[in-house]
Amino acid sequence: MIRLFVFGTLKNGFPLHDPCLGGATYLGAYHTVEPYPMFIAGQWFAPMMLDKPGNGFHVSGELYEIDRARLAAIDAVESIGKAGNFRISIEVIPVEGGGRGHAFAYVKSENLARAVHSPCLTDYQDRRFIPRWNRKPADQPLPADPPDDCPEG
């Protein structure tokens, strides 16, 4: 079985949870051991975590245990294989304390994080995300740099 750390729209109660993780084994509330920059960005107001460990804040999320078939399906939703979209292994720890462990997490490159719609976050609770089934053709937003309030390590 595979451990997957989710911090945004895949969390319980958010738009992609039921289609992607409904029925998966929930292991609890976790956060990243290393800080990462995470914020709301892009034309669909998506939560994005950059692969820049040591920068930003400890990111809160949920840990799930899934099989390879479900991982492949979520990879497709997360655009793995397309430029700027990655699945990496990170270290996570339970919020209530306990042993550290490794899990996969989805991260984006900085060039996808344009325009930025929030400061650097520790916990995603924003409800502006536009899922694929609600998207309409739109102009690309103006470029903007990642928020400057993400501490650098």
- Token pair, residue 8, equals 């945004």
3-state secondary structure at position 108: strand
- Token pair, residue 145, equals 């740099």
Q: Are 30 and 92 in contact (CB under 8 A)?
A: yes
Residue 43 has a pLDDT of: 87
The lowest-confidence range among 27-31, 43-47, 55-59, 95-99 is 95-99
- Mean pLDDT along residues 40-47: 93
- Mean pLDDT along residues 119-148: 75
32-42: pLDDT as tens digits: 999 999 999 98
| Catalytic (active site) residue 78 | yes
Query: Which of 62, 78, 96, 152 does the annotation list as catalytic?
Result: 78
52-105: pLDDT as tens digits: 999 999 999 999 999 999 999 999 999 999 999 999 999 999 999 888 999 999
140-151: pLDDT as tens digits: 444 445 455 566
- Indicate the pTM of the whole model: 0.90
Query: Could you give the residue ranges of the DSSP H alpha helices within 14-94?
Result: 17-21, 68-77
- Using only the alpha carbons of the chain, give its radius of gyration: 15
